[in-house]
Amino acid sequence: MKKQLRDFIFEELIFVADPKQFSDEDDLLEAGLDSMGIMRLIMFIEDKYGITLPDTEIEPDNVQSFNALEQWILKYKKA
């Protein structure tokens, strides 16, 4: 799951000189993920994993890192 997220984010949403050096806990928002990127990311996740992420949960804690994204997705994949 993280590889798919990484590929999408680094190919479509933000530029990082060396994505391999970007850890799963590094801050995606500081790296340049903006509100429009977050919306594109959520649409990608919902389409890719067949889930719906509630608008009320779109907050920095859920999109700040790859680990946070994974936890948020898994919460709804199980539901």
Whether residue 20 is contained in a domain is answered as no
Where are the alpha helices (H) located in 1-79, listed in sequence order?
2-8, 35-49, 60-63, 66-77
Q: How confident is the model at residue 53 (pLDDT cuts 50, 70, 90)?
A: very high
58 belongs to a structural domain = yes
Domain enclosing residue 69, as ranges: 2-15+25-77
Tens-place pLDDT, residues 7-49: 999 999 999 889 999 999 999 999 999 999 999 999 999 999 9
Task: Name all contacts of 44-52 with Cβ < 8 Å and 24+ positions apart.
Answer: 44/8, 44/12, 45/5, 45/69, 45/73, 48/4, 49/73, 49/76, 49/77, 51/76, 51/77, 51/79, 52/76
CATH classification at residue 73: 1.10.1200.10
- pLDDT of 78 reads 75
